């Protein structure tokens, strides 16, 4: 299947700093990428939908100024956690879908990023 590469896999940062997470589709073009957050003992919650060349669409309750999303090309989307706090510590996962208009195509997931804010 198609490959989505997410980097870094783990990051530890100090409170107040910003962290950038990259999501790349390696062998296909992705007009749309999704960012999820996984809380302990809970399922993945969609944070935002990233659209190439336009503003991201955020889910209700997600602060767009805190979680900056940029989708500058068909193969790269980035999530920047700004002014990180310990409560932002979580597992973040991106997914991407092939831009070809095939209905019901699966989404391919990155490996995830474990963010720890100290």
Binding other proteins (rule: CB under 8 A), the pick from 6, 25, 50, 78 is: 6
Range 85-104, binding other proteins (CB under 8 A): 93, 95, 97, 101, 103-104
Minimum distance, C-beta of residue 82 to other proteins, in the bound complex (Å) = 24
Applying CB under 8 A, which of residues 7, 20, 66, 114 lies at the interface with other proteins?
A: 114
DSSP the chain: ---EEEE-SEEEE-TT--EEEEEEESSS--SEEEEEEE-TTS-EEEEEEEETTS--EEPTT--TTTEEEEEEETTEEEEEE-S--GGG-EEEEEEEE-SS--TTPPPEE---EEEEE-
Establish if 60 lies at the interface with other proteins (CB under 8 A). Answer: no
How many amino acids of this chain bind other proteins (CB under 8 A)?
A: 25
The only residue of 20, 28, 31, 52 in contact with other proteins, by rule CB under 8 A:
31
> Among 43, 54, 61, 86, which residue sits at the site for other proteins (rule: CB under 8 A)?
43
């Amino acid at each position: 299947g198609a490959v989505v590469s997410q980097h870094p896999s783990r990051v530890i940062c100090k409170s107040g700093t910003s962290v950038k997470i990259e999501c790349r589709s390696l062998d296909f073009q992705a007009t749309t990428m999704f960012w999820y957050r996984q809380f302990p003992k809970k399922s993945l919650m969609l944070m935002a939908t990233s659209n190439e060349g336009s503003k991201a669409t955020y889910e209700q309750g997600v602060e767009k100024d805190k979680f900056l999303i940029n989708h500058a090309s068909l193969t790269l989307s980035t999530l920047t956690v700004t002014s990180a706090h310990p409560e932002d510590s979580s597992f973040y996962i991106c997914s991407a879908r092939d831009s070809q208009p095939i209905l019901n195509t699966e989404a391919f997931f990155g490996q995830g990023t474990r963010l720890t804010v100290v």
